[in-house]
A and B are shown apart, each in its own frame.
Chain A
């Protein structure tokens, strides 16, 4: 072995944003998408298409409310079909938005600045889709307020020892805090929109939303403090939300659910699928709106790396589940694992391993991380895989419990598919409205990335520091 100390040279860094931009140019580029440039044809096509699925969602939900959840494929023993699969899938997707906006802010990862806004919007819309499922699954969704502790003439209260009640608090807190965080981030950009809008009514709307922001240094200080603290609060919150979701399973005694690895493995899986969704949104957005200066290859590359890392944690989770089942020598645990690999739903598990573990390994290659169509395809594969993971956890574990006389099968009905595709349509629909009406990139944070934003060294004609 040579004693020589080799100092690794850092590889040449790709710039976070393209050189040569000015404050005015950045502002123009982002605000003109909403204020002056004609809406691209792709937008209208997608709007129509997703609008159709929103209508489908409306029909499916109306039918459900009129007829009850018997129109779904849920039964006993599989009482938690698509509704819970989709709930966990959607809420997981939301997690990447908070990770980008809060955790990467605290870690001072400057590259987050051009993707955080639409990632946060993605969080909000994904949580909306997620929240719909448990509500509909209640059976009598119009009594949803029974979930909250409010004084009532029946003199009953929610059961606070139940993870399902924890979930209500976790998800509603998550949505509220994400909304506050998103809105606080929007205020200075709404002021820029107010000042750039040509038409009076447009100016009035943005002006009202901007709350009279004027960019005062005193305001900026409190603003940044509030933003930082909200990020600090959102960080443990986002970890807690999927932990609580995993408690819905882990606290039950069912084999395949009752596992201590669930909280970390659920959180990693959530972030994994969330980054896949960020990429699936970023890639078409930068192509359609020509945002290559602001959402650069470096962003896509970093998202892909985070996806790979969290994907490996998920793979580790699968391995440990198998190991625990074997090592516990518990007959039921081991049977559940055997059934997962070779039982009636083994095709779902095989497909899950392929899409969620094998295909994403392509991301080790730098060439593939820089190949935009490949990234798009891998993200789609991950989203499919993560959906299948939840399907396997929910359905496969439930359909073979302790007593063979309880065993059953689950098949989704067309109404299950209608609600699921309907929420995908709703998500795309909301994203399109967001892109059309609000700044999809945080303008003021991108300004701080420009080299001219730096205050240059003390001029010598200033004597001493202010007290």
Chain B
């Protein structure tokens, strides 16, 4: 393992053989007090997310807000157009015949919610992000195929170049390596 200068270091990356090992390692790292770390896997592993202690409700909130906004604006627009801006008497029906506005209101609620979910997810995940230090790890191209990784970042308070490496090596990894910034 090449020794990178302390300031250029992003963290230490351990590779594991299977999801069970990854989840176990993540749990132990959390118990050891590490917080600035992340697990990388080619498919969603619920247990890994739990082990990291992640709690995030921004995406559902974005969907809720988007849906409310879309629906409200759609209804108000239709009401204003039909009653105020362009009133047309259709067979003597009232101008504010709100039941016929429900379809468009519903569709725009769904559209607003979907935009909220899509852009909320992208924004919270920081996408698009073409460059990230973890891509510097040697086998990281396997994280999208069949590799399972745990990276403890050096911004963590407990991070210590040698001690953290020894700790990661005790978790039964395939390899442990430095990740440059």
Contacts and interface: CB of A to CB of B under 8 A. Distances in A.
B23 interface: yes
A222 B59 contact: yes
B43 A453 contact: yes
A156 B129 CA distance: 44
Contacts of B156: none
Contacts of A230: 114, 117-118
Interface stretch (A41-49, A79-87, A170-178): A170-178
A121 to B, nearest CB: 18
Contacts of A188: 42-43, 144
A161 B93 contact: yes
A113 to B, nearest CB: 11
B144 A229 contact: no
Contacts of A467: 53
Contact of B103 (A169, A217, A462): A169
B145 A195 contact: yes
A377 interface: no
* Contact-residue bracket for chain B: 35 or more
B130 interface: yes
Given A207-B130, A226-B118, A455-B47, A214 B143 contact: yes
Contacts of A211: 122, 127-129
Contacts of A214: 40, 132, 134-135, 140, 143-144
B146 to A, nearest CB: 4
Contacts of B54: 217-218, 221
Q: Say what secondary structure dominates the interface of chain A.
A: helix
A215 interface: yes
B100 A23 contact: no
A331 interface: no
Contact of A226 (B48, B121, B144): B121
Contact of A233 (B45, B47, B63, B122): B63
A217 B41 contact: yes
B81 interface: yes
A149 B86 CA distance: 12
B39 A216 contact: yes
Given A192-B144, A229-B117, A215 B42 contact: yes
Contacts of A448: 43-44
B121 A222 contact: yes
The 8 closest A-B pairs by CB, nearest first: A23-B146, A226-B121, A212-B129, A195-B141, A211-B128, A220-B44, A217-B39, A211-B127
Interface of B: 18-20, 23-24, 26-28, 30-31, 38-45, 47-54, 56, 58-60, 63, 67, 77-78, 81-82, 85-86, 88, 90, 93, 97, 100-101, 103-104, 106-108, 110-111, 113-115, 117-118, 120-122, 124-125, 127-132, 134-135, 140-146
